[in-house]
Amino acid sequence: MEGDYKVGLEVWGTDGFHANYSTVITVHPKPQARFEISPEKPDLMDEEVLFLNYSTGSEKYNWSFGDGSVSSLFEPRHKYSKFGNYNVRLIATSQFGCSDTLNYINAFTDRSTLLCFQMLLFLILMDQQAATIHQKVMKRHLFSILILRCFRIPVKNFHKGRTAHF
């Protein structure tokens, strides 16, 4: 607990020697490392991530973004080069050298991946049951779009002549 405390040492010798010493020590407050990620569920390949710092009692910040990148800014921004689960860490340090660490494990867990695979499986099963050629073409078109959306594959947009990321 923070505050000023009087501590003492008293020594007794076998020959009757007696000595004592006391002093006041100060225990400084421990900082609190706190942060949020914005946006909460970013599109890692297309979006810069902002780390909102809500730490208290600190003046130095050491960030690790889980991909080998680091920062000492108060509220850094970071862009990831590939999809994945990343462990983000903030170490907040006070002017007295006291520190606190907050680890955000699997900060960008993509819960949509399971849904993508379920939808792909559904479209495959529907394609097998399609009665007409038109139904098969439409279902294969939906299947292609879904693959592009789930796996972020760049495709050529022939109508506008530029590459698009779905």
List the domain boundaries for the chain: 35-104, 112-165
Rounded CA-CA distance 87/89 in Å is: 7
**Taking all residues of the chain, what is their mean pLDDT, rounded to a whole number?**
78
Is the confidence at residue 138, as pLDDT, over 90? no
Rg (CA), the chain: 29
d(CA 34, CA 58): 11
pLDDT, residue 106, reads 83
Largest CA distance in the chain: 108
The residue that leads in pLDDT, 138 or 10, is: 10
Average of per-residue pLDDT across 125-132: 57
pLDDT of amino acid 128:
56
- Three-state DSSP class for residue 92: strand
- What pLDDT score was predicted for residue 83? 75
Stretch 119-142: mean pLDDT: 59
Topology at the third CATH level for domain 35-104: Immunoglobulin-like (2.60.40)
Residue 31 sits at φ, ψ, to 5 deg, of -70, 165
pLDDT-derived band at 47, boundaries 50, 70, 90: confident
